Amino acid sequence: MAALKYKPIHIIFYVFSLIFTFSANSSKAELPRLLQPAKPDGTLSFLAIGDWGRRGSYNQSDVALQMGEIGQKLDIDFVISTGDNFYDNGLLGLHDPAFQDSFTNIYTAASLQKPWYTVLGNHDYRGDVGAQLSPMLRALDNRWVCMRSFVVSADIVDFLFVDTTPFVDKYFVQPNKHVYDWRGVLPRQTYLNNLLKEVDMALRESTAKWKIVIGHHTIKSAGHHGNTMELETQLLPILHENDVDLYLNGHDHCLEHISSVDR
């Protein structure tokens, strides 16, 4: 993204593969925090994917096959999902077969049997958000880790997952016949104010050498959806102030690497 420091990214079949080498460290924040250990040699490898829940269609099964092969070569530690996990309208409930049809039965490779750290996208908010967030889904597939906003600490890198959908005004004022599940979000401004404070605190208190933020929506984009003005004005200044190294998102269904020489 613009104005964030350049870091190399290897792109393979619509999947981003990032490899980092780190040593141990930790940090504190009010957001839920999970620990992800690095390998004994200090390396860490993961795949990131977004906008995928298609019951195997739209090339999802082909991408899953390539993910399995690359995941094995890289010996990945986990997978990141940037949201829109189930099309078109999220999950209907805890027993919606879309969970198995779009996730468990698609990503079957041995290398992908690792934690999947997941945020929600706008399509997920059109379904039963509580179902996607429920820890009961882990009884169906123990890879599934989904929360609104949280931190994954992996030695000297902190991954900060941010719930971006509630920032976007049009989902509230022009939903275009879609019904969004705003339980847990309303009153909206209170939710956003608290979230921004928690994100800022998590980044300020982080002692990690690397800081990577993950959200569903674009901040800057040359793609179909373009820039997300609400994130530009509210979230981006916090990322700049806290020297975030990379913002990773989905939503625009295209590959972009946006950087700036002045950061």
* Residue 217, marked binder: no
Annotated ligand binding at 84? The verdict is yes
224 among known catalytic residues: no
Q: Is 95 annotated in some ligand binding site?
A: no
Rounded to 5 degrees, φ, ψ at 48 are -130, 135
Among residues 112, 41, 48, which one has the least CA distance to residue 75?
112
**Is 251 labeled as ligand-binding?**
yes
**Active-site residue identified among 95, 224, 225, 240:** 225
Q: What is the largest CA-CA distance in the chain?
A: 52
Q: Is 158 annotated as a binding residue?
A: no
Q: Is 240 annotated to bind ligand?
A: no
Strand order in the sheet with 144-146: 10-12, 15-21, 43-49, 78-81, 116-118, 144-146
Amino acid (one-letter) located at 144: W
DSSP letter string over 126-146? GS-HHHHH-TTHHHH-TTEEE
**Euclidean distance between CA atoms 138 and 57, whole angstroms:** 24
Token representation of residue 3:
């104005």
Q: 15: part of which helix (H) or strand (E)?
A: strand 15-21
For residue 89, the one-letter residue type is N
Residue 196's CB: how many other CB atoms inside 10 A?
Answer: 16
Distance CA 135, CA 9 (A): 32
DSSP structural state of residue 59: T
Q: Taking the CA atoms of 79, 68, 103 and 222 in sequence, report the sign of the dihedral they define.
A: positive
Does 87 appear as a known binding residue?
yes
Alpha carbon dihedral 83, 229, 239, 210, in 10-degree steps, equals: 40
Residues contributing to the annotated binding site for Fe cation:
51, 84, 87, 122, 216, 251, 253
Annotated binding site: 51, 84, 87, 122, 216, 251, 253
Active site residues: 225
